[in-house]
Amino acid sequence: MTEQITLRAPDDWHIHLRDGAALARTVGDAARQFHRAIVMPNLVPPVTTAEKALAYRERIRAQIPAGRAFEPLMVIYLTDKTDAEVIRQAHAAGVIAAKLYPAGATTNSDSGVTDIANIYPALEEMQSCGMKLLLHGEVTTSDIDIFDREQVFIEKTLSRLVDDFPTLKIVFEHITTTNAAEFVQNAREGVAATITAHHLLYNRNHMLVGGIRPHFYCLPILKRGDHQTALIEAATSGSPKFFLGTDSAPHAHHKKEHECGCAGCYTAYSAIELYAEAFEREGKLDKLEGFASNFGPDFYGLPRNEDTITLVKQPWTLPEGLDMGGEKLIPLAAGETLSWKLV
């Protein structure tokens, strides 16, 4: 008899779908396993207003494969110019959250916020209307080592935000350190974190020992093994403060394997299977449903999905490459064998 597990259908609380010709690939892959996804606004130019978010949502919806239930949840990108009125309009249009990219922190973050004080009126408005704040939590000053940027963000920015806006709901996204897991676990109600599959499965040795492997390069960068262990503990702990956000971020093959390669791992193709792998290694498959399907909607105040997905224990090998609008895209763990398969 094949072993199998059935879970409430999961959602992805942080994904990059990009735009244009990429959408057929990214939306199809996401919709294969997730019912809803929080869609990151770091397009070029960024999704900064309600109007842009609604137009982007239509472009995404047009690529949902027939017969799939998939709901893109939209986010606007905070800039130094985002004011309370922009927030009011976005909230009225059904935009679920606003995203803070410290300027220069990651892919397409050049229009991000240069000083958090510039968006205090916007944050005030978000707190009063109930819009969530999503954070790429890294400082960007050149004196701070890339491996310390998340930790310093907690000390310099996040602790203050959490106190200055005591009822603002905040998601510290794609956390990568023990410091972040502890901060969120001990923080007030209304502060949560997403964790990617790649930060559960890998650490910086996978990226740097025996040759440099650009497909593991993402931001925040993979950390030491002890941080990975802390993330695994947090994700499999059953704490509702930690939930699934793949941060699946496609970059064409030639932009990853390059002398100055882009940051981002494409995990959407097999995301739930990658998470199942990580949870099984820890002997905590029973905790996957809470993390993948329950705690996200609970945090956002949305209903949990009612239908289910089934994973069977059946080894399968990820393809070496995928097509993304005519460009080659290498999925994370390309050519590797996973033990769980979504049916």
- Give yes or no for residue 201 binding ligand NCD (CB under 6 A): no
Between CA 248 and CA 271 the distance in angstroms is: 8
From the candidates 110, 143, 247, 307, give the one annotated as an active-site residue: 247
> Tokens 């410290």, residue?
102
Query: Which option in Zn ion, ligand NCD, none does residue 27 bind, with CB closer than 5 to 8 A by kind?
Result: none
- Give yes or no for residue 251 binding Zn ion (CB under 5 A): no
251 labelled ligand-binding: yes
- Give yes or no for residue 136 binding Zn ion (CB under 5 A): yes
Q: Which stretch binds Zn ion (CB under 5 A): 2-10, 133-141, 160-168, 181-189?
A: 133-141
92 labelled ligand-binding: no
Given 12, 125, 247, 289, the residue binding Zn ion (CB under 5 A): 247
16 labelled ligand-binding: yes
Q: Which residue is nearest to Zn ion (CB)?
A: 136
67: alpha, beta or left? (left if phi > 0; alpha if psi -120 to 50):
left
Strands 337-342 vs 308-317: parallel, antiparallel or unpaired:
antiparallel
Q: Which one, 157 or 294, has the nearer CB to ligand NCD? A: 157
The answer to whether 4 and 310 have CB atoms below 8 angstroms apart is yes
Query: Which option in Zn ion, ligand NCD, none does residue 199 bind, with CB closer than 5 to 8 A by kind?
Result: none
The answer to whether 173 and 218 have CB atoms below 8 angstroms apart is no
Taken as a whole, the chain contains a residue count of 343
Between CA 284 and CA 275 the distance in angstroms is: 11
Given 184, 249, 278, 333, the residue binding ligand NCD (CB under 6 A): 249
What are the tokens at 223? 């950390």
Other Cβ atoms within 10 Å of 221 Cβ, number: 17
What does the per-residue mask of binding to ligand NCD show for 272-291, with x meaning CB under 6 A? --------------------
Nearest to 175 by CA among 127, 133, 137: 137
Q: Which stretch binds Zn ion (CB under 5 A): 73-81, 102-110, 144-152, 272-280?
A: 102-110
- Give yes or no for residue 57 binding Zn ion (CB under 5 A): no
136 labelled ligand-binding: yes
Between CA 154 and CA 290 the distance in angstroms is: 26
Size of the site for Zn ion (CB under 5 A): 3
DSSP secondary structure, 37-106, as one string:
EEEP---SS---SHHHHHHHHHHHHTTSPTT---EEEEEEEP-TT--HHHHHHHHHTT--EEEE-BTTSS
Instruction: Tell me, yes or no, if 163 is annotated catalytic.
Output: no
12 labelled ligand-binding: no
Query: Which option in Zn ion, ligand NCD, none does residue 42 bind, with CB closer than 5 to 8 A by kind?
Result: ligand NCD
Backbone angles phi, psi at 315, to 5 degrees: -55, 140
- Give yes or no for residue 26 binding ligand NCD (CB under 6 A): no
- Give yes or no for residue 42 binding ligand NCD (CB under 6 A): yes
Q: Which stretch binds Zn ion (CB under 5 A): 81-89, 116-124, 134-142, 232-240?
A: 134-142
Q: At what angle do helices 84-92 and 120-129 cross, to 10 degrees?
A: 30
Query: Which option in ligand NCD, Zn ion, none does residue 63 bind, with CB closer than 5 to 8 A by kind?
Result: none
Given 33, 48, 107, 151, the residue binding ligand NCD (CB under 6 A): 107
Contact residues toward Zn ion (CB under 5 A) are 106, 136, 247
> Catalytic amino acids?
247
